Amino acid sequence: MSTTILSPLPMEGGFSPNTYSGKSPGSGQGPPYSPNVPVSEQARRKHIAIAILSSVLAFIMLIVVAFHGYIAWTLAYPYVAPLTSNPMEAKNLNYTEFAIPSMSGKTTVNGWYIPAPSEIASARTIVFSHGYGANREEPWVPMYDLAGLLHALNYNIVMFDYGYASPTNKKPATGGFEESQQLLSSIQYAREMGADEIIVWGFSMGAGTALQTALQTDLINAMILDSMFLPDPDTLFHNVTQLVNLPRYPSLPLLQTLLPLWTGTSFDQIPAEQVKQTSFSIPVYLIHGTADKKAPVAIAEAIAEVQSNPLSKTWIVEDGHHEMLYRLHPKEYIQRAAKFLSQVHYQSAVASAT
């Protein structure tokens, strides 16, 4: 009797242990999917790489934002050296101290009032408007020298600190927004002290602030604007890049976003374009240097171009640097300023008589 041994047949649609080759039947793609099979080592490494890359990018973005936040903070709170003297010590000028609220009531203005030397009280007052990063002394101008010369011309003088320079009531710099309110209160103080002819003599951002203030009051009879700096996004970025080389994008948008967090003021609140287009009714004397790297001379020239008062003047100083114009030509500087002041005084006297 013979015995026939039959070989087992594979199940239909399946596989047998003898025919399994490590690939899914009919697919050629490997073993069949099973939810119990763990993620492959390759996929796991890919997920880890993506997570690490995302973390690095997030860290870099955080560093970039923090760096620009620090720049914004330093712009809002510039270092200002403390006062080193006073009018009596520097020029033997009698003075009184004052502390008054700004016109907005949000800040306090500290300053000095220097009366004219004449026995009969003078009705003419110069209000100095110092620049960014300086205080009322502003030594590189130099302010005490100008105060002494103007005192000899029988002017009362007001010297005060903007909020960012205040030794006791420090506030952030706002590009002229709140500073104009501080200047307004100083002008009002001069008026209360008996002045009926008030000239604002501004330097750098103090000159730009004077222009912003002139939009808000008719108490100013004339302005002398030395190295006028008017804050706007372009001039801000230009000055930042003088200190650190930054790309315009994303640096400028970041600074525009972050700066208001410290100052409470956006560029939209600073009337830079309005200032540039305004023909002021009062005499404006613009003094600017061609080598000014902080405030482009073209802006001063554009403002001068739209002025219509017959006494308005412009002196463009060849090779003059920012706020160093008095030092470059001290005698001519004083002669020009004194002539302008005498013309303003005559104009004011004629206006009062009529």
At 134 the pLDDT is 97
The letter for the amino acid at 48 is I
pLDDT above 90 as % of the chain: 81
pLDDT in tens, 61-94: 999 999 999 999 999 999 999 999 999 999 999 9
The letter for the amino acid at 257 is T
pLDDT in tens, 86-128: 999 999 999 999 999 999 999 999 999 999 998 888 999 999 9
At 38 the pLDDT is 57
Per the listing, tokens 């005060």 go with 160
Q: Is the pLDDT of residue 318 over 90?
A: yes
324 Cβ contact list (under 8 Å, min separation 6): 140, 289
State which H helix or E strand residue 313 sits in: strand 313-317
What's the pLDDT band for 44 if we cut at 50, 70, 90?
A: confident
| Nearest residue to 10 via CA among 19, 2, 1 | 19
What's the pLDDT band for 35 if we cut at 50, 70, 90?
A: low
Q: Backbone phi, then psi, for 165, in 5-degree steps?
A: -110, 0
What's the pLDDT band for 37 if we cut at 50, 70, 90?
A: very low
- Stated length of the chain: 354
At 353 the pLDDT is 84
Average pLDDT over residues 244-251: 92
